[in-house]
Structure formats: structure tokens, C-alpha cells
Amino acid sequence: MRQYIVSIILVASALFATAASGQQVAADPGADGSRQRLAIVVGADVGAKGTQPLGFAQKDAAKMAELFTTLGRVGTGDVWLLLAPNADGLRNALADVSRRLAEPGNRKTELFFYYSGHADEAGLQLGDTLFPMAELRGFVEKSPASVTVAILDACQSGALVRDKGGKRVPVLDLSMAPEGDARGYAIITSSSAGEKSQESEELRGSFFTHFLASGMRGDADEGKDGRVSLAELYQYTYNRTLQRTYSSGAREQHPTFDYAMTGSGQVVVSYPDEGTGRLLLPADLSGEFLVYSPDTDVVLAEVSKKAGRETVLAVPPGSIELFKRTDQALYRSRVTVAAGQQTTVEMSRMEEVSRRYLIEKGQAPVLVMAAKGGYQFFWDATIRSRSLLPSVLGGVELRVDHLLPSFVSPFVEVLVGGGVGSASGSADQPLAQSFSVLESGAGLAFKVLDSPVTIELSTEASLMVLRRSIDTPQVAGTVDDEYITVSPIASLVVGREVLDGLTLAAQFKSGYLYFREDEEGKDLGFSEVYLTAFFRL
């Protein structure tokens, strides 16, 4: 649910509401008034039956729509943003755009098409409908626009170019001359025909679109002329996607391309110098950096920066968090970017945070169940031998992760168990004795460390019901004693994730109990030790 809310926020910030009739408002002209740019942006989390819903396709689409309008010189009324459409909805949008492009006028027209979602060799999977690859290819080749650029972020999206001579190479050989009279089309896909495109919880989106956005914000501007060309963007996205998917341990992705261009001049995708806010990473900085907007929960860019050269990124005004990632740790710095100004990042005040900070900050609440078994004993030897016997306990815990900030998880637990022993009778004859315990607690767990092992501290209040039974056949049969109290308990958990969603841990608990025996009150301490298995549901 959260990702849909964020998508709505992004769309609202990038686009004006269209009229009830669905007509687009007048276009914003290019810088010289001679060119018109339009964009069709499609995102669909749900694909065909049997496919796993995607987590970020629609959010990626909203991100790209915002980039086209803020950095791509596409008018706010010239973006068709389609979230979870069916095949006919996309077909109608393409027809609307074709009619717009065919209107009389001498301006050069440039059309951008972006899709994020499920796909296979047959076509784009839009829910339970299919938009054929052949139909999309036909639209791109016959588009009335002077230049059409199609970008697909989907599994097996390379099928769109495979049968037409498309190939995967790190360099796209397009002219680097100033914008001129180039005509034709270009197709870029996130993966080759047999590869899967992958998402990242940390990046809040797919690897491919993440680097598209990073490049459009200025990291792909190799010429440092304030413009990101199609050639620069493809080469940057190819290299960074391949590098990141390889280093993350995921399957490698090889973006592909196909193009047919005539004339001269380059195709410019974005103009980062025209952004309302600018973030400067000075020349002396080096390393891997993530740029994150906490206001919208969007990872804006990722930069692999070398010392000796400045990097300027176009970012929205507001709060920005910059993360530096190393092999051992993750560090954070916060800045505020003012509209119309360039803000320099200073890393002197960086603080170390959990390596899973971004993942956990962005996740929706997750239910976790734990099964545990262990042992309880009271510290007072006399009490332990005659009244509150050592006991074996087992039970379950339910907690909700990512519900509260600062790695705090509320939980409830129920534990039951008991022990057996003997007590001395009046004639010094041993009497059978049994002891049972019921613990029902609620508390908060605070995660201290997440990698390479999990360490957390917790505190809880537990309702304890203690019951002792002594078998006295020579006197009065069985004598039962019951005591009910509330105990404060603190615990330490040390664990390690052994499988995705399964963590095995050791838990050490200590608590306080006020106990009355023979009309005398006692302050008692006790400890519990458990082996615990946490299952993320």
C-alpha cells in the first residue's frame, strides 16, 4: 500500500490533473520553441496469472514521468502516465499520441515510451491481458514522431530487438554532435531476450530504472555540458546495471539496444542543468554514494565517484540524505537543498547506520513469528530448591517489524512449562513436588546490529502465573499453591539469518519477581535461556 501512496505523491508533484474529458493541455515548447516532446509512461505491478507481482514497477513509472517533466523538457500536459492499464488502455493511449503527433505544425517531435512491468517473448503482460511485442515494435517503427525512443524495463524485454538485429554492447554509436535533424527510432531494453530484470528493496525499484534515473540526473553527463544524450545514457546504464547486478550477487543483466537513425545530431534525453535543485559532490569525495529523498521515500540516484572530478546531480528541493557505502559499513549525511541553488555535500558529519537502513526504512510492516524452547531458573538457591523449581519452557512470539521507527518492533509472547522435584515432609520423608509456569508478555525489541549477525535488546512486562503442587498423601493429599504477579523482563538476542526469512538465535532473559512465602515478601531475580527460530511471514 505504501508504494502506491508514494507513487501518487510523485505523480502529483510532477503532473497537473488532466481535464475530466482526458484531453491533454497545450505542450511546453523546447528551449528554442522549435521542438515538441511527448512521453508515454506505463507501469504495471501485476502481470499474467502465475507471475509474482512486482514491488516497484508502478513506482518506477511515476519516477520516470517526474524526470521527463522536470529534466526532459516534456510538458506536464504531454505525459500519458498509465498505472496498471490493460492492453486496450495502452492501445488507446498510443492512438491518442499518434493523433497529437499528426497535428499540423512544423516543430520537430520527439516521443519517449517507457514501460516497467512483466513481459515475455510474446508481449507486455498487463494484468490478464497481453500487448504483443510485434504490435509495440510496429508502433515504434512507424511512429509519426521525428524521433521515437522506447525504453523497456521488463524480463525478456530484449525480445523486442532480438529478431531485428539488436545486440548487447557497452557503447551505442550515435553522433555526439549538437542536436540537429536526426530522425528515426531507438529501442533500449533492460535485459536480453533470455534474462530476467531484477528489483532491489534497497533501491526502491529495479536496477535498470535506478541507473536510468541516476544518469538522467547528471551522472551520465560525460561531456559536462548540462545535457545527457541517448548515447551517454545507454552506455552509462549498460555499465552500471551490469556492474551492480554482478556485484550484488544477482543474475547479471545486459541491457540491449536497436536503432535506425538518419540525419545528424544527437538525441538528448535530459537537461540536468535545468533542475530546480542541484547537489554538488566535490572533487575530493570518492566512493559509492546513494542519494535518497526521505520526503518521498525515493532513492534518487547512485554515484560511483572517483576523486578529482566534481559531480552535479539534479534533485528536488528539500531534505536529502546521502549514503556512502563501503564493504564494512554504511554512513549517512543530511543536507537541505534550496530551490534554485546548488548545495555542496560535506561528509565531515557522517554517521554510521545499519547496512540495512534503507531496506528497513522503506519496508511495509512485516509479521514475524518465533518458536522458542528453553530453561528458567531463580537465582535464590533456597527458593529454587523448595518453591519455584527450575522449569523447561516453550512457546511462541509474534512481532511486527518496520511498524515503528528506529528499528523498534513491538511483540507479544506466550510461554508455558514447568518442572518437578521433591520437598521434605514433617517426618523428613521426600514429597513429590511439581511446578508450572505461564508467562504472557508484551514489549518492544530494539535492533542494535543487523549484519553479519543480528543483535537486539528488548524489554517487556510479563504476567506470570506460578503454580506449585505438593503430593502429601499422609496429611491432606495434594496441596496446591498459586501465585500471580507482573514481572519486568529484559533480554538479549543474538542470531543469524540462515535462510531467506528464517533466523536462528539464542535468547538470554533476566527478570524481577516479588514473591510472598510464609507471610514474608522476597525480591527475586530469575533468568531464562532459549533457542529461538524467527520466521518472517
- Is pLDDT above 80 for 243? yes
d(CA 118, CA 50): 11
Q: Mean pLDDT, to the nearest integer, of 444-470?
A: 88
pLDDT higher than 80, residue 475? no
424 and 502 share a domain? yes
Based on the domain organization, do 310 and 233 belong to the same domain?
Answer: no
- 298 and 258 in a single domain? The answer is no
Query: What does the pLDDT average to over 258-274?
Result: 86
Whole-angstrom Cα distance, residue 444 to residue 441? 10
The mean pLDDT of 488-498, rounded to a whole number, is 93
Where would I find the beta strands (DSSP E) of 365-453? 366-378, 391-401, 408-424, 430-449
| Residue 17 included in any domain | no
- Residue 28 domain-assigned? no
In terms of Cα–Cα distance, which of 388, 392, 377, 474 is closest to 430? 474
The pLDDT of residue 168: 43
pLDDT of residue 21 exceeding 50, the answer is no
Predicted pLDDT at 161: 54
147: domain CATH number is 3.40.50.1460
- Give helix 57-70 / helix 207-214 axis angle, nearest 10°: 10
pLDDT band of 517, cuts 50, 70, 90: confident
Residues 427 and 297 in one domain: no
Domain boundary among 360, 383, 417: 360
Return all residues near 416 (Cβ < 8 A) that are at least 6 apart.
393, 394, 395, 436, 437, 438, 439
The DSSP bridge pattern shows strands 118-119 and 123-126 to be: antiparallel
Distance CA 166, CA 182 (A): 20
**Are residues 70 and 186 located together in one domain of the fold?**
yes
- Report the alpha-carbon distance of residue 51 to residue 208 in Å, rounded: 20
Task: Find the DSSP H helices in 50-196.
Answer: 57-70, 87-101, 133-142, 159-162
295 and 233 fall within a common domain: no
Top pLDDT among 52 and 411 is at 411
The predicted pLDDT at position 363 comes to: 59
Do both 211 and 311 map to the same domain? no
Integer Cα distance of 151 and 116 in angstroms: 9
Query: What is the C-alpha to C-alpha distance for residues 383 and 433, in angstroms, rounded to an integer?
Result: 13
pLDDT at 194: 56
- Residue 13: what pLDDT? 42
Which of 343, 360, 377 is a domain's end point?
A: 360
Same domain, 302 and 199: no
To 5 degrees, how large is the angle CA 29–CA 35–CA 37?
75
The three-class DSSP label of residue 328 is coil
Question: From the centroid of its chain, how far is CA 268?
Answer: 30
Interatomic CA distance for residues 333 and 320, integer angstroms: 8
Question: For residue 12, is pLDDT > 70?
Answer: no
Q: Residue 223: what pLDDT?
A: 87
User: Does 232 share its domain with 343?
Assistant: no
Please state, for a pLDDT cut of 70, what percent of the chain lies above it: 80
Which pLDDT tens digit goes with each residue over 388-420? 889 999 999 999 987 776 578 999 999 999 988
Using DSSP bridges, classify how beta strands 330-337 and 268-270 pair: parallel, antiparallel or unpaired.
unpaired
pLDDT at position 250 over 80: no
Q: Residue 445's closest CA among 386, 397, 481?
A: 397
Mean predicted confidence (pLDDT) in 83-105 = 92
CATH code for position 290: 2.60.40
Alpha helices by DSSP H, listed for 363-511, are 381-386
503: containing domain? 365-536
Mean pLDDT estimate for the chain: 82
Structure confidence at residue 444 (pLDDT): 95
Kindly state whether residue 407 falls inside one of the protein's structural domains. yes
pLDDT digit string, tens, across residues 320-345: 998 888 877 788 888 999 999 999 98
Is residue 42 over pLDDT 50? yes
Reported confidence tier of residue 181, pLDDT bands at 50, 70, 90: confident
CA atoms within a 13 Å half-sphere pointing along the CA-CB vector of 487: 27
21 within a domain of the structure (yes/no): no
Q: What is the pLDDT of residue 211?
A: 93
One domain, residues 285 and 189: no
Which CATH number is 369's domain given? 2.40.160.20
Instruction: Write down which residue in 270, 292, 313 finishes a domain.
Output: 270
Peptide bond into 452 cis (omega under 30): yes
| Predicted TM-score (pTM) of this structure | 0.65
Residue pair 300/291 in contact by the 8 Å Cβ criterion: yes
* pLDDT tens column, 135-157: 999 999 999 999 999 999 987 65
- With respect to residue 77, please indicate whether it lies within any of the assigned structural domains: yes
Q: How far is CA 247 from the centre of its chain?
A: 18
Sorting pLDDT into bands at 50, 70 and 90, what band is 32? very low
Give the residue among 212, 216, 207, 267 at the shortest CA–CA distance from 30: 267
| Residues 140 and 189 sit within 8 Å (Cβ to Cβ) | no
**Is it the case that residue 172 has pLDDT exceeding 60?**
no
pLDDT of residue 28: 39
Q: Are 537 and 368 in contact (CB under 8 A)?
A: yes
Pairwise CA distance, residues 237 & 381, whole Å? 68
DSSP code at position 441? E
Q: How many domains does the chain have?
A: 3
Residue 505 shares a structural domain with residue 403: yes
Task: Answer yes or no: do 231 and 350 share one domain.
Answer: no
Identify whether 480 is part of a domain. yes
Does the pLDDT at position 20 exceed 70? no
In a domain, 20, yes or no: no
Residue 426 lies in a domain: yes
Of the two residues 96 and 364, the one the predictor is more confident about is 96
